[in-house]
Every structure is written in structure tokens, then in C-alpha cells.
Amino acid sequence: MDFQNWTGLPSVSGGVAPDPVNAPMIRHWCEAMGDANPAYAGADAVAPPAMLQAWTLPGLGGPRSPNGGRSEHFDALMAALEAAGCTSVVATDCEQEYRRPLRIGERVLFDAVIESVSDEKRTALGTGHFVTTRMDLRAYDEAAGEKPGDATPLGSHRFRILKFMPVDRASGPEQGEPEGAKAKPVRPRPVVNRDNAGFWDGVAAGELRFQRCDDCGTARFPWLAGCNACGSDRWRAEAASGEGVVYSKVTVHHPLPAAFGKPYAVALVELAEGVRIVSNMVDVPPEQVSIGMPVRLGFQRFDDELELPVFHPSGPDQLPPLRVPVTRTLVVAGAIASRDYQDVHHDAELARAKGAPDIFMNILTTNGLVGRYVTDWAGPDARIEAIAIRLGVPAYPGDDLRFSGEVTERGGDGRHLVLVVRGRNRLGVHVSGTVRLVLGEQSSGEGHGQRDQEEGA
């Protein structure tokens, strides 16, 4: 069947948000995302920009008026794809542009069009078609007595889904699980003994711990039974700040252990506390690691049992890492806060029936976490102009998302930035994308708003 016939037809006409912008929905969103940005609270609150789509979704009960739902064209396209065997759906891309902030009391109006339907594509999930819709949004201040005719442009939202025929789990990998993932080689395990157990207890708690002598005050690492300066066996553990510089480095090319993959950089990092540690450098090509490079501590989980300290580039063009534990609470709360009641995001039994090993995070929650990550760094007076993300591997409960980012462009005024953001988990890259950002007049983008972003440590 030629699905191109639906291109250009409306998917929503005359859409009206079910509710005006309101503080409770904003609060629920921020609680789900762990977003403490003060710009989203109080009398002058604005809505988180990544929340844009949430105002347009009808919720659990479906459309409550002719103006709140999809057009017959979109329903017909979905029915035709399902009749062709494409019974499963997953969101893949989200691109949002924000013309202005959205304030409490405003009502959102929206129209959408089916922008494109791809030819048949073979993916890791199965064979299917990518369907892209574009939504244009306006808003008027209902609380101030404005009428729909007073609505002004708010922004746009491009959304891409894959309607596909799921892979037969009896003959292929599980949905969302990369080919060969079950046979992935594991990294060597550290030897834990009574002398270094405190260090590994620190890693489990999200800290890099070193020892300090109680008698002479000398800091030491690796862990030893006695002080190498005065010989005392009296000491205490301290947590490193996480700041350091590369003292020396080596790039490992050959032979490559199966669990390590492509060439990787190993650095001897001198911490701010004066001790040195050997660790991997991540989020930077090995050839770009240099002596004297500022770095910041992070933690990377490789499997259910192994988590190791690693180091990321630091400095004005590098965002500090953020670890977000993917709990069932986060997955379900994020779906509810974004008004996404697809069963694969809250019902494990139905998710497995549809080919997934468990419930998984929805794209709106991922988009919200990207927005939070960027504004945590930039500060509450920064304004996001656009977020464009692409999903990779799913995010299942029990894993961690590790966000990293860097500034790739700075405008002539130093305030207009383009950032590249990535979020990884054990399966690989969960999300990658770009964010356009305008810094507030009081911020420089050089660590403004930075804090310890090892959540859940």
C-alpha cells in the first residue's frame, strides 16, 4: 500500500488543550523529572519548555471534545499501517522550538499535519514505517480575559514514530535489545579485600574515597594499611571533590580485550586533594585527551554488578555529568506527568506481551530530563529556544542514565549557545540531541548553576 497518500493531510485541526496552563501540572512534571528550577514555581512561574507537548495530550480518557483529538486522516493512516502488520509503535524523534515562555493561565491551541510517511524500513525493532507529524502551537491568556483570536505563536513540535512489525522473540533479539547483547563479554572484576573495601563502598555510594592519615595529615591513594609518610596505621576516609587534571595518559590500541571495544584512553588523574588515580576518560576521543586537561569525576555502570569511577572533560565548554537512576517510579511518574498513558510505560505484563522485556521510559520524560540537565547547568535565568532529540536504546527500570554534554557553538555575544547532549545506559546511547540556549544576562555559561549532579548517590 502507498502510505504517501496521507502526506500533507491534517492530523489535528483546531486542537484546544484540555486544561489551561496550571501550577499543579507543572509541579507534577518537575517532581517526576527531579527539576528544581525556581523559574517553574511561584507567582511568576513559567512552564518548563520541554513540557510543550504535554498540554496537547488528551489524557487517560481520550479526547473530551471534537477539538481535542486526532483527525480521521491520522486514524485512517494508523489503521492502514496496522492492517499491513505494523501493530507496534515507538517514538523515535522529538524536535521542539519555543518562541516564548508559557505562563500560568494561558490556554494552548494547536494544529498538526502529517508531514511525511517513510518507505518501508528495516530496523532492530522490526520492519515498518516512520511517521512524522508537525504541530504548530499558539496560546492566549485566558486568565486575563483574552480570547482565542488573541492567541500568539508559542512554538512548534515535530514528532516521529515508528509503526512496525515486531521481531519474533523466538527467532530474534528482544525488542529494544541490540543484536548479541546477551553474549556481551563482561569486564574483569576488581579484587576487593579488607584493605580496599572502603574504597568500593564509596563507589557504591557515588563517592571516590581516599585515605588521610590521622597523625600527619597526608592524603594517600591507592588504599594502604598504613601511612607511607609516617607509618601510622590511624586514618580516616574522605570523599574527593571530583575535580582534577590529567597528569599523564595512554591510548590503548592493541590488543583490545573483548569487553573494551574500540581504542580507549586511560589517564592518571591528579585530584584537587593531591592524590592520583588511574581511570578511563569518557565522552572525549582518546586523541583529544591531553596532559593538563581539566576533568571531573563521574561513575559508569557496565552491568548489574560493576560500576566504576571514570572522568569526563571539564571546563567552560563541558557540562558536568548527571546520573539519573531509572526507577519504576520515574518511568510511571514521567508518563503520568506528560499525560502519556500508553500501557508500555506503566503495565509490565502488557509491555512484555508487546515484545518488550519490561516497561520503558517515554520520550517526553527523556525530553524533560534533557531540559532539566541543561538548565541545571545554565541556571534559572537561561532560556531554552529549542530541543531536538533522537532516541536510541530503551531505558528500562533498574538501569542508570548518564548524561553528558558540551557547548559546540557560542554566539558573538557569548550568550547564545548550541549544546550537544547525550544520555547513555548499559545498552548504549539512549538519547542524543542538540539544545539551543540563551544565557541570562547574569550568567556566563562557565559553570553557572553547576552543582553535584550525581543524583541518587
User: The cell 508559557 sits on which residue?
Assistant: 102
Residue 173, in any domain of the structure: no
Contact 135, 159 (CB under 8 A): yes
Q: Rounded to whole angstroms, what are the CA distances from 274 to 8, 243, 244?
A: 63, 11, 9
The rounded percent of the chain whose pLDDT value lies above 70 is 91
Looking at the fold, whether 42 and 142 belong to one and the same domain comes out as yes
Looking at the fold, whether 139 and 14 belong to one and the same domain comes out as yes
Looking at the fold, whether 373 and 278 belong to one and the same domain comes out as no
Contact 433, 388 (CB under 8 A): yes
pLDDT digits (tens, 9 = 90+) for 434-457: 999 999 875 545 444 333 344 443
Contact 318, 406 (CB under 8 A): yes
Looking at the fold, whether 139 and 248 belong to one and the same domain comes out as no
Domain with 252 in it:
197-313
Q: How many domains does the chain have?
A: 2
Residue 443, in any domain of the structure: no
pLDDT digits (tens, 9 = 90+) for 29-53: 999 999 999 999 998 999 999 999 9
pLDDT digits (tens, 9 = 90+) for 104-158: 999 999 999 999 999 999 887 789 999 999 999 999 998 889 999 999 999 999 9
Residue 342, in any domain of the structure: yes
Looking at the fold, whether 8 and 137 belong to one and the same domain comes out as yes
Looking at the fold, whether 298 and 208 belong to one and the same domain comes out as yes
pLDDT digits (tens, 9 = 90+) for 274-324: 999 999 998 888 999 999 999 989 888 787 788 899 998 887 788 888 999
Looking at the fold, whether 99 and 206 belong to one and the same domain comes out as no
Looking at the fold, whether 353 and 404 belong to one and the same domain comes out as yes
Looking at the fold, whether 303 and 345 belong to one and the same domain comes out as no
Residue 191, in any domain of the structure: no
Domain C-terminal end among 290, 313, 336: 313
Q: Which residues contact 296 (CB under 8 A, 6 or more apart)?
A: 242, 243, 244, 311, 312, 313, 314, 318, 320, 321
Q: What is the CATH number of the domain that holds 41?
A: 3.10.129.10
Looking at the fold, whether 28 and 152 belong to one and the same domain comes out as yes
Other CB atoms closer than 10 Å to residue 399's CB: what's the count?
22
Q: Model confidence at 168, in pLDDT bands (50, 70, 90)? A: low
Q: Are strands 88-98 and 152-166 parallel, antiparallel or unpaired?
A: antiparallel
Contact 63, 11 (CB under 8 A): no
Looking at the fold, whether 229 and 347 belong to one and the same domain comes out as no
Residue 184, in any domain of the structure: no
Q: What is the CATH number of the domain that holds 210?
A: 2.40.50.840
Domain C-terminal end among 264, 296, 313: 313
Q: Report the predicted TM-score, pTM, of the whole model to 2 decimal places.
A: 0.76
Residue 450, in any domain of the structure: no
Residue 180, in any domain of the structure: no
Looking at the fold, whether 25 and 123 belong to one and the same domain comes out as yes
Mean pLDDT of the chain: 88
